[in-house]
Amino acid sequence: MELSARDQITERLVAEAQRNPEFRQRLLADPNGTISEVLGASLPESVSIRVVEATPTHQYLVLPMVDPANELSDMELEEVAGGGVCWDTRPMCWGTD
């Protein structure tokens, strides 16, 4: 599977931060400026990047953005879910025909 441009940039930044302690400190102190320097282009002012450093006792989980255009409506979700619930193996289940 091919990495997205964002994932490629992330891998590049993490690899450099692992190799170069000075770069790591700059990335932690000024993420937007450091990333702009690496990319050779300014990031929009509306974009704020936060870089955090994991420790043995603090780990982080980053959730992706939710794109409302890709979400299912309640009706679509009902259709995908089969529109019914069956809690046992008997042939008669709610909402199924």
**Banded model confidence at residue 68, pLDDT cuts 50, 70, 90:** confident
The answer to whether 17 touches 10, Cβ cutoff 8 Å, is no
Question: What angle, 0 to 180 degrees and rounded to 10, lies between the N-to-C axes of helices 31-39 and 5-19?
Answer: 110
Question: How large is the average pLDDT for residues 61-79?
Answer: 73
Stated pTM of the model: 0.64
CA 10/CA 16 separation, integer angstroms: 10
Span 19-65, pLDDT tens digits:
999 999 999 999 999 999 999 999 899 999 999 999 999 999 988 88
- Sequence ranges of the domains in the chain: 1-53
Collapsing DSSP to helix, strand or coil, 37 comes out as helix
The tokens describing 70, both together, are 């890709």
- In this prediction, residue 64 carries a pLDDT of 82
Place of tokens 């490629």: 8
Is a pLDDT exceeding 50 seen at residue 87?
Answer: no
